[in-house]
Structure 1
C-alpha cells in the first residue's frame, strides 16, 4: 500500500512542524489522517496511548509531538522536559511497533549535537562530546528517542527513522517575545518598532553568531520524501546547508518589515554558540534539497504574522 492510501497518525499536529506536515500530507492526497489534540489524547499516559493504538491501528506514524521551550523553560523545568519527552516517545514508538505500524518518522532536534561539534555538524558527531547545558534535558530525551528508533529497528526490524531538523520558522510559529526563538522574535520586534515609529531596534549580542533556518514547509516536504524513500538505520539531518549571521538576519528582517530606523547590538547580552549549521550531505545524497529561499520564506511568514497575530 502506498503512503498516500495509508492510515497516518500525526502526533503533535497542531504544532509548528506537525501542522505543516499535515498540510503536506493533505496536498499529497493523503485522506486517512488520524489526528488527536493533547486534550483528546495525552501522549504521556501509557494506558491512553495503548487504547488509542489498539482502536485506530495507524499504518504510518509521524512523531512531531514534544514538550518544547526556550532556555529559561529548560532551566526552570528540567524534570518536565526530560520526563515528559521520554514518556511521549516511549509510548508512541512502542505502541506503533506493537500495533502493526509499518513505518515511523521521529523528529529530533539539532540541539542533540555536542556544544563544540564540528561545523557543519554531521550525523556522526552524535554522542562525541558534552551538550549545551542550557537545553541538555530536552537534548538527552531526543537522543534517547533516536536510540529507541535504532533499537526497535535492530531488535525487531521496525522501520523507525529519525530526522534532525535545524531551526524552523514559518506560519504558526510562536511570536511571543519572552518565549520565542530568534527569527520570530525579531519579526515581532521590528514590526512593533515600526508601528511605534521607533528610531532603533536593539538586538541581543554582537550579531556575529551564525545560524541556519529552514522553512517549516520545507521540513514537511522532506518528511514526505523520506517517508517514501528512506529506510535507513542512521538519523538524517534536515536543513538548508546554509547559514546567516544574526546581524545579517536582523538587517534582512528589518528590510522585509519596512523598518526605517537603526540597528543597535547590545554586546552586554550573550551570543551563545558561535555557529550552528547542519551537514546535509546525507539528505542531499538521498535526492532532496530545501527549496524555500530565506528572504521569500521570511516575507511569507511576516504576511502570516500580520494576518494572524493577536
Structure 2
C-alpha cells in the first residue's frame, strides 16, 4: 500500500477509529481523511455519496457504529438496528460506486449464534439464534459482513470483514448507561474507591466467560489487513483466551485499588454464557495480538485518570 494513498477512516474520533488513525500515522501513512458527525452524517445517503464523489478515497476503513452494552441495546433496539445499517450501507454502497478497491469492515463477535460451539469459528455465522440482549446490533453487523462478501463475490473487490472480540482501551465509553462491561466496572470501582471503598454492585452472576482485546491491537490488525491481501472475506480478531466476568472484576478492582465488597445482582441478565473467538485464521494469515490483559487494563486506567474531568459525576 502506497503511504500516500488516500485513506478514509469512518468514525475516526471514536475509540477504535482514533486508535486506527494513530496506527496508520505511526506506519507512515500521510493522506488520512476523516469527518466528525457534524461534518458528515453517515446515516444520510446523499451526504455520504457526495462526500465520496468529492474526496475519492482509495481505501475505506469502517470504524463507525452506534455501540453500547446490554442496557443500551435493550433500551434502543430500533436505533441499534437501523442506524448501524444506514451507516454501513451508505459507506459500502458509496465505496462500490466510487470504485474504492479496498474496504475494511469492522463488526463484532456478537454476530455469532448464542450457543455456537466454542471457540467461535467464522463458519458458525448464521447457524443458530443470536443472543437476545444484543441481536439488533448483531443483525445489522451481519448485513454488513454479507454486503462485503457479495461485493467481493460479484465484483472481485478486496472488501473484507474483521470481527473483533470485546474491545477496551483509551477513548472508551465510560457512561454507565451505555458502556460495555470493562469500562463500566472500571468507573464503578473508581467512584466507590473515592468515596471510602463502598461496595460495588455488578450485574449478573459473574460466571459468563469473555475475551478482551486492547484497542491498539485491533488497530494493528487493521493495518495488517490493509497491507496484505486475504484469501477469505471474514476473519476473527482476538486473543484466543478468556476469563470469567468475576475474574475480570477482581483484576480491575486490583488495578483501581478498590478494597470494598463486590455484590453480584443475579436478577440481571448474564448475556451469552461464553464468547471466545477462534483466531487461527488470522494467525495463519500472519497476525497475532500482543498486549496482555493486565497491561491493557493498567494503560486504560491511566488514560481514565488523565481524563477524569471529561466524565460527569455518577452514583453507584
TM-score clears 0.5: yes
Q: How does 1:16-165 map to 2 (within 5 A)?
A: 16-165=15-164
- Work out whether 1:263 is the aligned partner of 2:262: yes
SS in 2 for 1:81: helix
For the Cα contact (< 8 Å) 2:152–2:233, is it kept in 1?
Answer: no
Q: Which runs of 4+ in 1 moved over 6 A?
A: none
Instruction: Quote how far apart the aligned CAs of 1:199 are.
Output: 4.4
Q: Which residue matches 1:293?
A: 292
Alpha-carbon separation, structure 1, partners of 2:9 and 2:274: 32
C-alpha distance in structure 2 between counterparts of 1:123 and 1:294, whole Å: 24
5+ residue gaps, structure 1, are none
Taking a change above 3 Å as real, the CA distance of residues 182 and 45 of structure 1, as seen in their structure-2 partners, is same
CA contact (8 A) 1:16 1:173 kept: yes
Mark the CA change 1:3 to 1:106 in structure 2 (over 3 Å): closer, same or farther.
Answer: farther
Post-superposition Cα deviations, 1:117-163, rounded to whole Å, max 9, x if no partner, equal 11110001000001112221211111110010011111111110001
Q: Is the 8 A contact 1:3 1:228 kept in 2?
A: no
Give the length in aligned residue pairs: 309
> What is the rounded CA distance, in whole Å, between the counterparts of 1:12 and 1:299 in structure 2?
25
CA distance in structure 2 between the partners assigned to 1:83 and 1:258 by the alignment? 41
- Tell me the residue number matched to 2:181: 182
The 3 A distance-change label for structure 1 pair 199 and 241 is: same
Report Cα offsets for 1:4-44 as digits up to 9, x if no partner: 22100000111111111001011111110011011111111
Q: Secondary structure at the match of 1:5?
A: coil
Please state whether the residue corresponding to 1:202 is helix, strand or coil.
strand
Answer yes or no: is the 8 Å Cα contact 2:230–2:285 preserved in 1.
no
With 198-207 and 187-196 compared, the bigger mean Cα shift is at 198-207
Matched residue, 2:238: 239
Quickly say closer, same or farther: Cα 1:74–1:261, change in 2 above 3 A: closer
TM-score, normalised with respect to structure 1 = 0.96
**Does structure 1 conserve the Cα–Cα contact (< 8 Å) formed by 2:85 and 2:140?**
yes
